[in-house]
Chains A and B, each alone.
Chain A
C-alpha cells in the first residue's frame, strides 16, 4: 500500500542488479528514467507503469510488484479471476475449463471465467455510445496504462475515456455482492485476485483512477502462478464445474477475444471502432485525437502491449503462439453469447458497470508554475539544447539531448553533465540566456 497522495507504482529498479547502462532509459516512452550515480532511477510523476523498461533490461534489474500467492493466506476464501490470456498459456489439450479447475487444485477455492463479464462490458459500451453521440472518439479504459498515459500526457482527453469499468473490476464487484451472502462470510474475509500478464493492474488496484476503492484484493502475475497451474494440469483430478457468472455455464465467444488487440471492438456491431496496440502507436494515435482527428470513429480501443494483453510482459508463452491459441478458441466459441441483453442493460442503467468517478488529469508539470518564468525557462532550454551534440548517447544520465536541456532548464541537471561539452565552455553563459545558476536540490520523487 502507498502513502495517501502518492501514486502506487508496480515497476521498480532493483539497485543491486542495476549496472547503470542506458537500455531502460532509452526505451521509456515518457522519458521517466535517469541514470544517477551509476543507477537507473524512475521519476514517479512521469512513470505510467508500461513496463517497456522491464522488457529491455538485460540484467533483470527491473522488477514489478504483484501479489504473491502466499499473501492470500490472510483470507478465508480465495477467488481467482484469471484474464483470458491465462487460457492461452498452456498447450493443448488444456481447455479454459480445465485451466479453471487446475487453478482450484492449485489452491483457490473458486476460479471464475471472465469472458462472460467482458461480454457484459461490450453490451454496456454499445449502449453508452448510443446514449452519448458526443464527444468522439471515446477511448477504452481496460488498459490501465492507457488511462495513466492520458492523465499525464493527454489531460484534455480525460473526458473521452469510456466510463465503463473493465471486466476484471465488474467481475469482482459482482462477486462482492453475491459471495458474502452465499458463503456466510464478511466481504473482508474473501480474497479476490486477478491473474494477469500485466504489472499495471496492480497500479489500478492500489491507486484506482475511476473508483474510490478497487473491488480486487490484488493481482498475481501469470509468471508467478504458472508452475503451480502446470503441475495441477498434469496431475489431473476432480473436475467440478468451474465458476460462471451467468446461469449458462458457457464461455463467451464475444468476450473470449478481449486479450487480443481488436477484441474489445469486435463485439460492437453498430459502431465504428479502431483498435491500436503498442505504446508508440498508441501515443501517435492519441496525438491525432488531441489534434481533433478521428472524430468519425465511435470507439478507440488502445492497448499498450504489442497485440494487446496477450503481449503482456508477465506472460509466459510467447505472444505469437498465445495469439494463435486464442484465435483457435475464438473459432470454437464463435459469436456465442452468454449474457441476456436485457440483464446487461438493466445493470448498465443501474450504473452498476459505471466508473465510480471521472478520470481526472494528473498534476501538470510545467517548466515553472509562473508563466513568465516558464517562458524564460523554455528559452534557456533552447539555448542549452543548441550547445548539446545531439548524439542522444545517454552518458549524461538523460535519455537524449533534448531531455538533458529540459532537465537543465528545470534545475535538475547541469550542462557539464554532458561529456561532449568542454568544462570551460560549460562555464561560459550562453548568448541571450539567463545567467548560469547552481542547480537546485533534486526535488522530484524518485524510486
Chain B
C-alpha cells in the first residue's frame, strides 16, 4: 500500500528525571530532518521546540510519549505526558515564568522560556492539560511557515 503523501512516523519514550539522556530525542529528530533534506530554519525551529518539550518532560513529568510525524510539508510533534499538569496555562505561557527548582536552575534549566519558546517557534500550537493527570502538546512546524 502506498499513500499519496508518505509520512515518516517515529515515537520516543521520555522519562521524567532522566537528565543523563537530556536532549537525546531532540538530537535524533534534528539529525533525521537534515537527512530528509529540510531547510536550516525548519531544522533549527524543530530542534528548539523538541528540545524544550523533551526537557519539560524530564523536569516535571513522570514520563511521556513523544510522537513525530514528518511529511514534506509539515513536522508534527505531539508530547503526551503523565505528570502533574499545569494549573495556570496562561501563566506558564508567559515568558520568564518558571516553577523550576533550585537544582534544575543550577543545571541551567528553568529560565521560564520553555513553553513560550515552543509556541514562538511553532506554526501551530495546542495545549491540553489536566492537573493531576498530565499535559498534551500538539505542535506543527512548516517549512514555509513564519520565521520566529
Contact = CB atoms under 8 A, between A and B. Distances in A.
Interface of A: 155-156, 287-288, 290-293, 361, 364-369, 371-372, 374-376, 378-379, 382, 406
Interface residues of B, number: 28
Interface of B: 5-8, 10, 23, 26-27, 30, 32, 34-37, 40-41, 43-44, 47-48, 50-52, 70-72, 108, 117
A368 B34 CA distance: 11
Contacts of B41: 156
A292 B37 contact: no
Given A368-B37, A374-B37, A378-B35, A287 B71 contact: no
Given A156-B43, A291-B47, A372 B6 contact: yes
Contacts of A156: 40-41, 43-44
A364 B43 CA distance: 13
A372 B37 contact: no
Nearest to A370: B37
A374 B26 contact: no
B40 A287 contact: no
A374 to B, nearest CB: 5
A364 B44 contact: no
Contact of A291 (B10, B26, B32, B71): B26
Given A290-B47, A374-B37, A382-B10, 9 more contacts: A291-B51, A293-B51, A366-B37, A371-B72, A375-B70, A375-B71, A378-B35, A378-B70, A406-B35
A363 B32 CA distance: 16
A288 B51 CA distance: 9
A37 to B, nearest CB: 27
A364 B34 contact: yes
A369 to B, nearest CB: 7
Nearest to A155: B40
A292 B51 CA distance: 9
Contacts of B108: 293
Given A290-B44, A379-B6, A367 B72 contact: no
A291 B23 contact: yes
Given A291-B26, A292-B48, A374 B40 contact: no
